[in-house]
Structure 1
Amino acid sequence: MVMKVVRFWMPAAILVAGIVLVVVRGGDETSLEGCAALWGAGLSVALLNWLHRMGVSGDRSRAREDEARAYLARHGRWPDDAPPRQGS
């Protein structure tokens, strides 16, 4: 639940705050600059979240590879290979 807030709702709230700023101040130059700053911040948070998720997914792939190599060392075959037929 907390990760959904950080990954989706926080960047969305920052982006919406930029729009609200423009609407409340009537679209003057200062509000547009503030909106641009908030949008930059919101998009930065979203990008950092995405980069973090990409890094974590690589860790899972490496863990699966390590488990498969340990299985190979114990059983002499790769985990998703068909087991050798008995009696032939």
Structure 2
Amino acid sequence: MRVIVPAVRYVLPLVLTAVGVWLLETRADKWGGLGVMLIGTAVIVLMLNLLFRLSIRSNDERSREEAARRYYDEHGHWPEGYY
């Protein structure tokens, strides 16, 4: 998994973009549309990665907030260092 996840996150969009640009540069008459679609697919993959990472970060923040609220309920004040 340590190799597959970075490959899907970064190598796949890079390869899709490279092939798409190559198609646009060399085969624009017949395959230019495919090149544009490949570049668009690379952008979609990058955006999905961004959304997944934001979702995970949001869950972590919610967990910390819940823990801080439980601490507040038990002790009557917010934990040290919590903002």
Work out the CA distance in 1 between the residues paired with 2:30 and 2:43: 20
SS at match of 2:22: helix
> Which one-letter code corresponds to 2:51 in the other structure?
L
Specify the alignment match of 1:85 in structure 2.
Answer: none
Work out the CA distance in 1 between the residues paired with 2:11 and 2:75: 47
Specify the alignment match of 1:41 in structure 2.
Answer: 41
Residue 31 (structure 1) shift? 2.2
Higher helix share: 2
- Trace 1:9-20 onto structure 2 (pairs within 5 A): 9-20=11-22
> Which one-letter code corresponds to 1:7 in the other structure?
R
Tell me the C-alpha RMSD between the 2 structures.
Answer: 1.8
> Which one-letter code corresponds to 1:73 in the other structure?
D
Any unmatched runs of 5+ in structure 2? none
- Trace 1:3-82 onto structure 2 (pairs within 5 A): 3-22=5-24, 26-80=26-80
Quick check: which has more Rg, 1 or 2? 1
Any unmatched runs of 5+ in structure 1? 82-88
Work out the CA distance in 2 between the residues paired with 1:28 and 1:62: 49
Residue 11 (structure 1) shift? 1.1
Q: TM-score, normalised by structure 2?
A: 0.78
